[in-house]
Amino acid sequence: METTLPSGRIRVRPRSHANTVLQATLIVLALLTVYGLITIDTRNINVVTAFGDMLNNFRIVLFEARLKNLSWLDLFRELMITVALGLLTTVFGAIIAFFLALLAAQNLAPRRVNDAVKIVMALIRAVPTVLWVLFFAVTAGLGSVAAVIGMTFHSVGYLVKAYAETFEELDAGVLEALRASGANWWQTVFQAVVPSSASALLSWTFVRFEINFSVAIAMGATAGAGGIGFNMFMASAFYLDLRELGIFTYAVLIFAILLEWSATRLKETVGVKRPA
C-alpha cells in the first residue's frame, strides 16, 4: 500500500508481477478499443442521422409510453411472474448455499472440505447464468423450469462465497468456548453461528434477490421463461412498439425503486448492514 513519509512525500509501492500484468492488460484493451473505433466500417452509416434516431427512440420510450397489446392487469401479472422467478431461485439458492457454506468456512470444517467446496463453487460462478440456463434447457426444455434451475445454480455459487466469508468473520473465542463446553458441531452452528450472522445472511440474500430479479428479466427473453422480460423482448424485436416497451421499462424501474426502499426500511428496522 502507499504510505506517507514524515517529510510528506508519498512512497509508491514497489512494482510487482501482478501489477505489471494488470497494467499490460489494460493497455492492450485500450489499444484494441482505439483500433476497433478507427477501423469500424461506417461508409453506409450517417452518424448524425443515426444519433438523431437514437434520441428520438429514447423520447418515444420515455415520454410516449402506453399499453397496446396488454391490459394493466396483464402487465401486473407478467411483472409478478418475473418477481416470482427471482424470489424462487433466491430461496432455493439460499437454503442450499447455507449448508454448503458451513463446509466452505475455514473455522467450521476441515481444510480439505473447504478447498473442495470452494473450487466447485468457483467453477459454478465462472459460468454465466445464461449458459447454465441454456445447459439445463437441453434436458428440461426452454421455459421457466430451465430458468429456475440455472439461476439457482449460479445463486448457490454466489451465496456460498458470501455466507462462508460471513461465517469466517465470527469471533473464534465464542466457537472455542462452545466446543470446550462439549457442544457438538450442529449445536455450535445453531447456537453461535446462526444468531451472530443472521443479519449479514439476510443482507446477502436480499442482494442476491435484486440480482436474480434483473436476471429473470433477461431469462424471460433468452430462455422463454415468460414474465415481463419476454414481453419486453416481443415489444422491441417483433412488434417494434417502443411505446409499449416504455411502459414495461417504467414497470421494472418502479419495482426496482420499491425493492430498494424495502431494503432500506429492512436495514433500519432490524439493523441489517447491506454489503457494498
**pLDDT tens per residue across span 254-270:** 998 888 888 777 766 65
The answer as to whether 237 is a domain residue is: yes
The answer as to whether 5 is a domain residue is: no
Instruction: Give the 3-state secondary structure of 104-162.
Output: HCCCCCCHHHHHHHHHHHHHHHHCCHHHHHHHHHHHHCCCHHHHHHHHHHHHHHHHHHH
In total, how many domains does the chain have? Answer: 1
- The grid coordinates of residue 31 equal 489499444
The answer as to whether 164 is a domain residue is: yes
What digits encode the pLDDT tens for the residues 174-199?
Answer: 778 777 877 787 888 888 888 888 88
The answer as to whether 258 is a domain residue is: yes
The answer as to whether 215 is a domain residue is: yes
What is the β-pairing status of strands 10-11 and 3-4?
antiparallel
Do the Cβ atoms of 78 and 138 come closer than 8 Å?
no
Q: What is the CATH number of the domain that holds 249?
A: 1.10.3720.10
Rg value, the chain, Cα: 24
CA distance 143 to 219: 9
Check pLDDT > 60 for residue 4.
no
Q: How many CB atoms lie within 10 A of CB 259?
A: 16
The answer as to whether 115 is a domain residue is: yes
pTM for this one?
0.76
Provide the residue range defining the domain that includes 106: 70-270
∠ CA(49), CA(55), CA(57), 5° rounding? 100
Name which of 232, 224, 226, 272 is nearest 253 in CA terms.
232
The answer as to whether 34 is a domain residue is: no
Check pLDDT > 70 for residue 133.
yes
What digits encode the pLDDT tens for the residues 34-83?
Answer: 988 888 877 777 778 888 888 988 888 888 888 887 888 988 998 998 99
Name which of 117, 172, 151 is nearest 227 in CA terms.
151
The answer as to whether 92 is a domain residue is: yes
Check pLDDT > 60 for residue 219.
yes
- The grid coordinates of residue 263 equal 431494503
Check pLDDT > 80 for residue 94.
yes
